[in-house]
Amino acid sequence: MTTVGTNRPRIGEWHGYEALRRLQDAALPAALRAAARSPFYRRRAADLPTDRAELRTTGLTTKRDLRDAYPFGLLAVDRAELATYHESSGSSGAPTSSYYTAGDWLDLAERFARKWVGIRPDDMFLVRTPYALMITGHLAHAAARMCGATVVPADNRSLAMPYSRVVRVMRDLDVTLTWSLPTDALVWAAAATAAGYRSDRDFPALRALFVGGEPLSRARRDRLAALWRAPVVEEYGATETGSLAGVCPFGRLHLWADRAVFEVYDPRTGRTGPDGRGQLVVTPLYREAMPLLRYNLEDEVEVEYRECDCGWWLPVVRVLGRTAPDCRTGGPPLTQSGLEELVFSLPAEYGVMFWRARAGHAHLRIEIEVADPHRVPAVSELTEAVGRTYDVAVDVTPVPPGTLVPTGLLTATADVMKPRGLFGADEDWDRALRYY
């Protein structure tokens, strides 16, 4: 067995950013030795880094590197030591592998479990992110089990778990915690309404919504919290790394910099620094199966070292999300988060939750789902807000509820079966082997 280190820090055990740096420096040598066991890094350089100064001069590991190393090019332990194998696939469709030992899983579960509302033995925890190949469902599952909570493994890419069933389970089981995309929790609210419930009144057991996997603007977070009358606890991470940041009681997203060294890379200048705006680069400190050195996540972020009332002494990160670089505005660059902030800043009674936008060179088209009584004010207020913020020609089109998120999706029931050979005279035997 290889062991990278079992003395993993816990929040509250250090005070100040100097102390945080000392923690990183203490863990770095073992992490760098682990990387030296990886064929990928051995091939890459004769002299692998042994301390922070040398690490800083090591080339970045790119997403392309990970794809090229498919499936086991980064494996630094014996294959028998692996506990799980995962994949994510980017827009190119080429798979990116990641794999973890049982030891890695302790670090992964601990990081995910860092939720300021806590995860308790009496919690009923609905895990509503994918289990197939990706890590996200398993992360929440492992963290919940570690804390003694009851897991309701719901997945979100399974025909067995349509929205109507999510709503039924949340109510009947008194679900206290959920883990999902923020968008999914919005759709549950719509599904609850379609089932005749009020999301803010008929789910009193719900203690918090854990969300991640998408950038989340403040306005959308506040709307979600109001819709479910529960705090929304955000999380940021990737399948290749697990959880990298979580939100504190004061609403700031903090990087888990006691478990990884973070840098910010500016692709225009080619320089990296500890903070500022650019792409997030990570060197995890407690990895056995698949060590990564300066892995560029290519997510646009802003990192800041500041004091926060939470006293965690961890840098604050803002994940900026997709930009529309070709759209010429008279104001700031057009981002998905920026637009989302404006959509969700419309008065809640307008009920606008679902939208999409298409950016041209100097023109922006937005569609919003809105019911008749609120159509006129919603369109004019959003047109005004977007024009004022971005100084761009904008066309806001109202569409009836059910257009962007079909009503059938909210009310459909599960239609899954096992393979079957024998059918009755009136039954559809074309479904014999279509067991989904």
Buried b (16+ CB within 10 A) or exposed e, 134-173: bbbbbbbbbbbebbebbbbbbebebeebbbbbbbebbbee
Least Cα distance to 119 among 139, 133, 136 occurs for 139
Site string for Zn ion, 206-245 (x = CB under 5 A): ----------------------------------------
CA within 13 Å, CB half, 64 = 1
Q: Does 252 participate in binding Zn ion (rule CB under 5 A)?
A: yes
Please tell me the distance from the alpha carbon of residue 429 to that of residue 88, in angstroms, as a whole number: 36
- Which listed range, 94-102, 172-180, 247-255, 343-351, lies at the site for Zn ion (CB under 5 A)? 247-255
Q: Does 250 participate in binding Zn ion (rule CB under 5 A)?
A: yes
At 210, the amino acid letter reads F
Unique residue bearing structure tokens 């950013």: 17
310 or 412: CB nearest Zn ion: 310
Residue 82 pairs with which residues in a beta bridge?
Answer: 101
Please tell me the distance from the alpha carbon of residue 139 to that of residue 129, in angstroms, as a whole number: 10
From candidates 248, 281, 334, 392, binder to Zn ion by CB under 5 A: 248
CB 301 to Zn ion: min, Å: 16
Please tell me the distance from the alpha carbon of residue 392 to that of residue 394, in angstroms, as a whole number: 6
CB 23 to Zn ion: min, Å: 18
Sheet strand arrangement including 242-247: 150-153, 124-127, 177-180, 208-211, 232-238, 242-247, 253-255, 316-319, 295-304, 276-284, 260-266, 271-273
Interactions with Zn ion, residue window 174-193 (CB under 5 A): none
CB 226 to Zn ion: min, Å: 22
Say if CB 263 and CB 294 are below 8 A apart. yes
250 or 436: CB nearest Zn ion: 250
Residue 316 pairs with which residues in a beta bridge?
Answer: 254, 304
Interactions with Zn ion, residue window 279-338 (CB under 5 A): 308, 310
CB 220 to Zn ion: min, Å: 20
CB 310 to Zn ion: min, Å: 3
Total residues contacting Zn ion by CB under 5 A comes to: 5
141 or 252: CB nearest Zn ion: 252
248 or 343: CB nearest Zn ion: 248
191 or 314: CB nearest Zn ion: 314
- Which listed range, 156-164, 246-254, 283-291, 374-382, lies at the site for Zn ion (CB under 5 A)? 246-254
256 or 350: CB nearest Zn ion: 256
Unique residue bearing structure tokens 């403040």: 218
Q: Does 63 participate in binding Zn ion (rule CB under 5 A)?
A: no
CB 249 to Zn ion: min, Å: 7
Q: Which residues lie near Zn ion (CB under 5 A)?
A: 248, 250, 252, 308, 310
